Amino acid sequence: MFNYSHLTGAQLADRFVGRSCGSMFMLALAYSLDVVGYATGQTGFLDTIRVALSIILVINLLPIYAAYISRRRATNCSTEDGYIVGMFKKAVVHAFTLNFIVMIFLEAVTEIYLTDIPTKIFLNGLLALTLLTLSISFFILTRDSDDEEDDLDLGEDA
């Protein structure tokens, strides 16, 4: 499961980015639980779920992160130009844009409403929204990127 030696540098980078987005999704859920806990008044059960999510996140990301970093140091390969990384950058732009719009909206709304909600809840909610947008955008952008299998029957090429 944690052996990545059969992957090329570019494949490893793509897989690392995919895993990172999966981890961001889990992190978004963890932040959401904080907001849900505040809204419902329950904390004990939600805290347990949050700890479990954090452990899964570390197990999911740490091995491939270590492999990716050591491969980069060993081969000095540049892997920032690929399709997956490009889609990740697009997803970051989507997430940042939405985050910014929501912040401006909240800045206006909190002048009148929601004045007694703690800052921590606002921040966790915003973080959850940003990470959720990023990860979902990434999965949508890369959803049908695996095109038809390669072929060399190219009689009709122009």
20 binds another protein (CB under 8 A): no
83 binds another protein (CB under 8 A): yes
54 binds another protein (CB under 8 A): no
Question: With contact defined as beta carbons under 8 Å apart, do 68 and 12 qualify?
Answer: yes
> Could you say which DSSP state residue 142 is in?
T
1 binds another protein (CB under 8 A): no
Work out which of 48, 70, 78, 97 binds another protein, going by CB under 8 A.
Answer: 78
Sequence-ordered strand ranges (E) for the chain: none
Least distance (Å) from another protein to the CB of residue 133? 21
> Could you say which DSSP state residue 111 is in?
T
Work out which of 18, 22, 63, 82 binds another protein, going by CB under 8 A.
Answer: 82
Work out which of 107, 111, 116, 157 binds another protein, going by CB under 8 A.
Answer: 157
Q: Nearest 5°: CA angle at 20, between 19 and 25?
A: 95
Question: With contact defined as beta carbons under 8 Å apart, do 107 and 150 qualify?
Answer: no
> Could you say which DSSP state residue 132 is in?
H
Name the site residues for another protein (rule: CB under 8 A). Answer: 8-11, 14, 77-79, 81-84, 86, 145-148, 150, 152, 154, 157-158
